[in-house]
Amino acid sequence: MSKRLLSLLVVFLAVSGCGPKFYPVTGKVTMKDGSLVGSDYTVIFEPALTKEKENRFSSRSRIGPDGTYRMSTNREGDGIPAGTYRVLIAPPPLYDGNGRPMTWRIPFDLKYQEFDTSGLVFEVGPGSTEYNITLDPNPAFKK
């Protein structure tokens, strides 16, 4: 095979999208009472079946002022590949004057900050990919 033909084949394969298909994933995050969580929080999806740390990836989205999110993997709003995902909600860094985390400032139950305890698992693929998330309150939260 000539170098020119090989080069054209490589370009064609790169342009034709030989990677995984991405699906748009959107939703709204609210508290159980219907109130909004806040726009400084992040929704993070991680494949549930990937155990090897080197093969793990995550998709993320900042929660908007209206509580909505739109997942991104490689670029803004591109979606995520099909699969089963564990989900967590990450708060913004909240520290007191001594550098200790201020967990009493997080309005939702702290279990949602870890993949292993959040209980949030979603299946992504063809069809509906809107996942609304309702969070239990943090009993220690102080408004």
122: left (phi over 0), alpha (psi -120 to 50) or beta: beta
Q: Which helix (H) or strand (E) holds 13?
A: helix 3-15
More confident residue, 74 or 128: 74
Backbone angles phi, psi at 99, to 5 degrees: 80, 10
Q: Is 17 a residue whose pLDDT tops 60? A: no
Complete domains list, the chain, with CATH: 21-135 (2.60.40)
Token pair of 91 as six digits? 């708060």
Please name which of 89, 82, 79 lies closest in space to residue 122, comparing C-alpha atoms: 82
Backbone angles phi, psi at 91, to 5 degrees: -80, 165
Residue 50 corresponds to which amino acid?
Answer: T
Query: Considering only 65-69, 98-102, 120-124, 135-139, which range has the smallest mean pLDDT?
Result: 98-102
- The DSSP secondary structure of 70-108, one letter per residue, reads E-BSSSTT--EESEEEEEEEEPPP-B-TTS-B-GGG--B
Asked whether the beta carbons of 59 and 78 are under 8 A apart, the reply is no
pLDDT, position 141: 79
Q: Is 30 a residue whose pLDDT tops 80? A: yes
Q: Give the pTM.
A: 0.78
pLDDT, position 11: 40
Q: How confident is the model at residue 18 (pLDDT cuts 50, 70, 90)?
A: low
